[in-house]
Amino acid sequence: MASGVGGGSDEETVRNKQVIFRDYVSGFPKESDMDVTTTTVKLKLPEGSNGILVKNLYLSCDPYMRIRMKRIEGPNLFSSFTPASPLSGFGVAKVVDSGHPEYKAGDLIWGTTRWEEYSLITEMDGLFKIQHIDVPLSYYTGILGMPGLTAFAGFHEVCSPKKGEYVFISAAAGAVGQLVGQFAKLMGCYVVGSAGSKEKVDLLKNKFGFDEAFNYKEENDLNAALKRYFPEGIDIYFENVGGKTLDAVILNMRAHGRIAVCGMISQYNLEQPEGVQNLMLLVYKRIRMEGFVVFDYYNIYSKFLDVVLPYIREGKIVYVEDIAEGLESGPAALVGLYSGRNVGKQVVAIAHD
C-alpha cells in the first residue's frame, strides 16, 4: 500500500498537497466529499524502510473508484477508501528515494499510489517500471496502463473475437471503450459504440474509426436502436454500463455470442441496483457472459506492450486524454466521470517531470 511519509530530522522538507476522502458517500459523489489539504514531507525514506518514496506525476480517474467510496464489508475485490485519509488509485510516479533493491532514484513507475504530491509505497505488487518513454508518460494511466490492459485482455482473451464479427461497445469514448473499438477494427470486425454526447459520437466515428456510433440519451428505445445498427444481431458486447443497455443488448445478441463484463457505471451511484429481465435468452441463444478483472491479466502485460507500443508508434491506434491540471482539480475531475463530463481518458496532472 501507499502511505503518507515521515522521516529523519535533517533531510529536505517540502509541502505535500493531498486530496482527502472525507467520509462514505451515498448517491452521486460531490467535490465536497473530498478536501484538498497541505501537509509536509521529508524527501528521505524513514530509517530501515524497504519501500520507495515517489513524486506523483499523473493520477488516473477511474469509474471503479466510486465503489471504494462506499462502506465495503466482507470479502470484496475492492476495499473502501479510509475516511480522513488520501484517496488512492492508479498513477505514474518518479522514485525519489528507494530502500528496495529493484528500484532506484529516478526510476519511473506506474501502479497504485495515493492522491498526493509525494507518497511512500511499501506494497510492490502491481507496480510496473516504465521502460518506454518515447510516448507520453500520462499514457501509463491509460492506454499503456490499467485501462489499456483491461481493453486488450477483455477483448482478446475474454471475447475470443473472429474477423468479421459484429461488436458493440457501451461507454465507447471512455478510457477502455475507445481502445476496444480500435482493437476490434484492427481485427476486421464491424464496430458500433454508444456514448452520451454528440461530441463523443463524432469522436468515435471520425477519430477512432468506429463504423457507427449513437448517443444513447437520444434513443427512447435502445432495443430499436440496436436493431437499426445490428440488423443481423451482435456477436460481441463489451459491457461498461449495465442496466437498460445490457437488457437491450441481450435481446439483440446472436447465438453463441459473448459478453465481456468490464464494469457497470450506470449502477455505481444507485442505492438499489437495477435488475436485468432478459437473462433466459443466455440459455436460448447459448450466450457466454463473463466478468473479468484486469489484475488476473498482469502476467500478459509484456505481451500487451509488444502489441500496443508498435500500434501507437505507427499511428494505428490513437488515444484521447482529458487532462486536468493540478492536484486541486482532482475532485472535480473524478466527480465528472459519473456525469460523463470527461472526453476520453480522465487524467490529473500533478507534475510533468
What the block records as the C-alpha cell of 70 is 462506499
pLDDT of amino acid 269: 86
Domains, the chain, in order of start with CATH, read 13-142+319-349 (3.90.180.10), 146-295 (3.40.50.720)
Helical spans, DSSP H, in the chain: 146-152, 177-186, 198-206, 222-229, 243-252, 280-284, 301-313, 330-336
15, pLDDT greater than 60: yes
What is the pLDDT, as a whole number, of residue 122?
A: 94
Residue type, 343: V
Q: Rounded to whole angstroms, how far apart are CA atoms 345 and 63?
A: 11
- pLDDT at residue 7 is higher than 80: no
133-191 tens-digit pLDDT: 999 999 999 999 999 999 999 999 999 999 999 999 999 999 999 999 999 999 999 99
Helix, strand counts (H, E) of the chain: 8, 17
Question: What is the predicted pLDDT for the residue at 2?
Answer: 56
How far the first Cα of the chain sits from its last, in Å, is 23
Which 8-state DSSP code applies to residue 271?
S
d(CA 110, CA 104): 14
- In the structure, what pLDDT confidence band is assigned to residue 6 with cuts at 50, 70 and 90? very low
The answer to whether residues 151 and 157 touch, using CB atoms and an 8 Å cutoff, is: no
Beta-carbon contacts of residue 306 (< 8 Å; ≥ 6 apart)? none
pTM: 0.93
Residue 8 has pLDDT above 50, yes or no: no
